[in-house]
Structure 1
Amino acid sequence: MKRLPQIALLPDGKRLHLQDGPIDLIIEAKGSERDVRAAYQAAARRFTGLLDELCDELVELRKAADPARSALNGVIARRMYAAIAPFAAEQFITPMAAVAGSVAEEILGAMLNVARLDRAYVNNGGDIALHLTGGEQFTIGLMDRPDRHGVMQSIRIGADDPARGIATSGRHGRSFSLGIADAVTVLAQTAAQADAAATIIANAVDLPGHPAIVRLPANELQPDSDLGARLVTRDVGKLRDEEIDQALRAGVSRAQQLLAAGLIEGAALRLLGETAVVGSTGIRAGTLPAFHGSAAEEAAHVGSEARRVA
């Protein structure tokens, strides 16, 4: 029997919940009643069968990306590849690094194709695609780390801001991480770009070979992991302050490279209670002077909006 996705309005009557296997979306749209209804219907139609589309190319999606070419055919699969392609020439990465953001983008696009909306978001477990017009704003609740409740700080994205995608990665997230960051939250022009960049920056927050860091092969924890036998972080023991700074500096350096290349709009990095921000994210929570290359870099609390929105 063919599996059917779960599609329902949440109890508040405003948000739509779509779930199929590992894909779990929370959607909210603002506009006329007619447009919101049409947008939700379009989201449900596009969502039906979407997981099957990805599964049809799953073998290829789990392969290390070739920077010169792609054998992927699906719309979402090609979006995933485009998001990770800028990194493929210099390091290992698979299209799966951008799957959540790419799915969120696809559903938002389906909604906007049939309806005029003032504001909308598609939240795929904390990787979020946004639509804003006029004076509309979107508030992001930032948490200390993705596996804990409690909003530590918040930022706002306005319609005039270039960011339309938000993603969080780190060792406490849904996917494995090669680095030791508790959380790295990225703002980018698209959700797919934010998803890929969050993975790259979170991997860069690291202390290779440190004895206090426990790592295991990814395929021992999940046999079909796209990371294969690469070592992923399972625990981080006590680190000295200077070691935390060293790991954060490595992540900040990578984030600054992506910012300069136009691949992100900003990033917030958190490790063991210490924080750093690169780019004009509008977060304020103290300063880390040693990280300052410009006035746009400040310290901040980090996390994702997944639990708050859901």
Structure 2
Amino acid sequence: MSMGPQATLLPGDRLHLHHGPIDLIIGVEGPERRSCFRAATDRFQTVLQGLVSELADLRRPLIANSHFANPIADRMGRAVQPYHDVFVTPMAAVAGAVADEVLAAMLRHHEPPKAYVNNGGDIALHLTGRASFAVLGPAGEITVNTGDAVRGIATSGWRGRSHSRGIADAVTVLARSAAAADVAATLIANAVDLPGHPGVTRKPASELSPDSDLGNRLVTTDVAALSATDVHQALQNGRRLAEQLIKADQVLDVVISLQGQTETVQAPTLGAYTHA
């Protein structure tokens, strides 16, 4: 018998919400913490069933004028809408969209100084006043402050929990929402690649996950030690896409890591956020 949504208080006054493949860690500062936790728990009750109801369409590339009744599915669709010229499905934004939606539910009637929803490393943020949020990225600690535009952080790579078509160890993206960061991290991680390289092992996604939205497209399962030249080339492939997305104002900052080398691409207008 499958378990329904589970809610557990963790040490450090954090909330853990779990249902099926979804695991959220939620933190809130201030006297409204318990009220925010209740709002998150209430919203979480129908998160998974709402996604399942539109799952077939979410696993397909977006078509013109697509509309989803479920609010999380709608967030996913809007996050991938700018990428109509590449293969991507709304599932590329699912983790970030869930984080965004649960955070929005918490903030509907409350205004804590700081709150976050971490969905397996894809994080939705709320910051006010002097609050800040720090996360460990591939280039070290990243601190986001209230004064910048970053409200979402996501990381993708071939070693992560989702399949990647590229070879990046990690791509961390900062954006205005977790859903926007999520899809961008996926696509930039795909772009960090060396097509046809003998040191990269790939398999059809369907062999690893029969219901994958990637179908028979090849995904990376192993990457051998690469030469410094190869690493540099793969990083530059990812950097070019990151620069395009920053120029289009779709993301604010990108950190790409591959076998000990790192590339950072940052919007010139990004202010208060810092790498440590």
Counterpart of 2:40 (choices 40, 43, 56) is 43
Structure 1 residue 64 corresponds to structure 2 residue 83 = no
Q: Deviations over 1:132-178 (max 9, x none)?
A: 00111111122x5xxxxxxx721210000100000000001110000
Contact 1:178–1:232 (Cα < 8 Å) also in 2 = yes
Residue 161 (structure 2) aligns with: 174
- 2:16 aligned partner, one-letter code: H
Unmatched tracts of structure 1, length 5 or more: 145-151, 285-310
SS at match of 1:72: coil
Structure 2 distance, partners of 1:182, 1:164, is: 23
Structure 1 distance, partners of 2:15, 2:61, is: 34
Equivalent residues, number = 271
TM-score by length of 1: 0.85
SS at match of 2:66: coil
SS at match of 2:274: coil
Residue 87 (structure 1) aligns with: 83
Contact 1:36–1:115 (Cα < 8 Å) also in 2 = no
Within 5 A, what are the aligned runs for 1:13-28?
14-28=13-27
SS at match of 2:162: coil
Residue 258 (structure 1) aligns with: 245
Contact 1:212–1:238 (Cα < 8 Å) also in 2 = yes
SS at match of 1:109: helix
1:15, distance to aligned residue in structure 2 (A): 0.4
Residue 76 (structure 1) aligns with: 72
Structure 2 distance, partners of 1:202, 1:109, is: 27
Q: Deviations over 1:189-248 (max 9, x none)?
A: 000000010001100000011111100000011100000000000011122111110000
Contact 1:248–1:269 (Cα < 8 Å) also in 2 = yes
Structure 1 distance, partners of 2:111, 2:202, is: 48
Structure 2 distance, partners of 1:221, 1:233, is: 11
Structure 1 distance, partners of 2:177, 2:228, is: 35
Residue 163 (structure 1) aligns with: 150
Structure 1 distance, partners of 2:55, 2:42, is: 22
Residue 185 (structure 2) aligns with: 198
Structure 1 residue 6 corresponds to structure 2 residue 6 = yes
SS at match of 1:161: coil
What's the RMSD between the two structures over aligned residues? 1.3
Structure 1 distance, partners of 2:217, 2:81, is: 20
- 1:70 aligned partner, one-letter code: S
Structure 1 distance, partners of 2:228, 2:243, is: 22
How much identity, in percent, do the aligned residues show?
Answer: 52
Contact 1:184–1:269 (Cα < 8 Å) also in 2 = yes
Structure 1 residue 112 corresponds to structure 2 residue 107 = yes
Structure 1 residue 127 corresponds to structure 2 residue 122 = yes
SS at match of 2:275: coil
1:95, distance to aligned residue in structure 2 (A): 0.3
1:249, distance to aligned residue in structure 2 (A): 0.2
- 1:282 aligned partner, one-letter code: T
- 1:283 aligned partner, one-letter code: H
Moved over 6 A (4+): none
Structure 2 distance, partners of 1:251, 1:82, is: 23
Q: Deviations over 1:105-128 (max 9, x none)?
A: 000000001212110000000000
1:282, distance to aligned residue in structure 2 (A): 2.7
Structure 2 distance, partners of 1:120, 1:239, is: 40
SS at match of 1:187: strand
Residue 275 (structure 2) aligns with: 283
Structure 2 distance, partners of 1:273, 1:154, is: 16
Residue 225 (structure 2) aligns with: 238
1:2, distance to aligned residue in structure 2 (A): 7.2
- 2:29 aligned partner, one-letter code: K
1:72, distance to aligned residue in structure 2 (A): 2.1
SS at match of 2:250: coil
Structure 2 distance, partners of 1:73, 1:272, is: 42
1:3, distance to aligned residue in structure 2 (A): 3.9
Contact 1:177–1:203 (Cα < 8 Å) also in 2 = yes
Structure 2 distance, partners of 1:134, 1:91, is: 39
